Amino acid sequence: MIVTEVMHMADPNPPEIRCLYCGKTYPVGADQCPHCRAPAHHRPRARLRQFRWFVALLALLCLVLILWLPR
Ligand SMILES: [Zn+2]
């Protein structure tokens, strides 16, 4: 019984997130807070990875243009 309580407290991914605006908790999957209807601030990791690739390609394009365009 003690072991299960410790494991519950050490859970790195709690199933609920705290709203930034009203301070109440709600499930992670929701896209908006059910209490104040503010948009959820947790973004899916796939979108973040996609955005990182977009930034890397944009930086590469800028480097190519710096070298290619005349001064
Ligand atoms: Zn809220």
Query: What is the Å distance from ligand 1's center to 9 Cα?
Result: 24
Question: What whole-number distance in Å separates Cα of residue 40 and Cα of residue 68?
Answer: 43
SS3 labels along the chain: CHHHHHHHHCCCCCCEEECCCCCCEEECCCCECCCCCCECCCCCHHHHHHHHHHHHHHHHHHHHHHHHCCC
Residues with CB under 5 A from ligand 1 (ion): 19, 21-22, 33, 35-36, 38
Q: For position 40, what pLDDT does the model report?
A: 83
Q: For position 9, what pLDDT does the model report?
A: 54
Entry field: residues in the chain: 71
Asked whether the beta carbons of 40 and 32 are under 8 A apart, the reply is yes
Q: For position 2, what pLDDT does the model report?
A: 56
pLDDT by residue for the chain (71 residues), tens only, comes to 555 545 555 555 667 888 989 999 988 888 889 999 988 877 667 778 889 999 999 999 999 999 999 87
Q: For position 12, what pLDDT does the model report?
A: 57
Q: For position 11, what pLDDT does the model report?
A: 53
